Structure 1
Amino acid sequence: MASALLPRPRRQLAPGAVHLPDWLTLEQQRELVRACRRWATGPVPLRHTRLPRGGVMSVRTVCVGWHWRPYAYSRTADDVNGQPVAPFPDWLVALGRRAVAAAYQDQAAGDAYTPDTALVNFYDGDARMGMHQDKDERSAAPVVSLSIGDSCVFRFGNTENRGRPYTDVELASGDLFVFGGPARFAYHGVPRVHPGTGDPATGLAAGRLNLTLRATGLSDPPTGAR
């Protein structure tokens, strides 16, 4: 793991895939933790997603804007409790736009970005995420990933398969990772989390929160905010 005393520069892992360390301020991380706690209490609670073949994901997830389950988005969580998902707030749209503009150093790209869903994943020390593509959306707009809490190994691969070539990068609390363009459908995953590496000052005593903002390309955009 990289020492906190050493600077971590901006890094492009592949065309369209950019890592910006320490992008979120401590106060922004606290605000996101508070928002995630609100969303986790419902109307659709934080849960382990069941996969089509019967497996259960080790991360726990709550969705905002649209409810995700493998291979589909819906307005109601029919695989959980049938309740409508929490609406996607305007402030999260604005955060996503700032993230894309910062990653690509292009304000026009940021202005054009309108995410309408977020998957909030909570990792405890034993949780993992296998190599996968984010391809249930009808939009090829970038994915914005924000990390809070414990550091993790983030494995960013290629667009053809789950194997090599891939690059392992440490994502720490406050880090931003954006992947779009040629890298939009790259396989990626989290092979391990480093327990005890987060700062309790974020409001998260243990574990890792990962928010991924996406544009679904679906109709009937969410209204309101929570």
Structure 2
Amino acid sequence: MATVILVRHGRTTANATAVLAGRAEGVVLDDVGREQVARAGDRLATLRLARLVTSPLERTCETADAIAAGQAADIQPLVDEGVVEVDYGEWQGRSLKELAGDELWKVVQRQPSAVTFPGGESLVAAAARAVSAVRRHDAEVSSQHGDDAVWALVSHGDILKAVLADALGSHLDQFQRIVVDPGSISVVRYTADRPYVLAVNTHQGPVALPPVSADAVPGGGAGPSRSGTET
């Protein structure tokens, strides 16, 4: 199966002021965020992306545009509602400091699978739609371009953490152990037997895609052929 590059959007005005943006309009990248996505675009420039998928929100579309600009071949981002930000309902637009005093905050930290945001969606539902969308795109890319194809997804922190938790075979209640920073790149390769998580939350260096066989290699395998390559 193909390899998916998971990119979180760059830092936004809401991130910088510790506000839960959710699906609010007008949340765009700040200066730091624009630098982050430019760097992400540079890191992916050597890869030929077969597909570029993005959440429909402004901050992810800005990030996807930066990645597309770095590609040698013309590529148009494909918007998919399946990977849009979690619907945080009444939590949207509130400060994280204020939300930390809510009883639901403790459940979000300790048992995410039990959380349904008031007036919004459950984390279980958000994870299910995102994982379904990623696996659908991956299967389509593999079918159309072959198992060596690479594609990219630009989405949001909790959405990407849910996708990574699924790839790791972890219960959703463990997904808070995964860190996905703004502008970071993670890499997953799906196979018929299992997904392989090749990188999580990286910020620097070229994105190396070491070969993965159908079976996990005892001892860990040889890794990338190029010495010093970072993922």
Bigger-Rg structure (1/2)? 2
Q: Which has the higher helix share?
A: 2
Relative to the length of structure 1, the TM-score reads 0.30
Relative to the length of structure 2, the TM-score reads 0.29
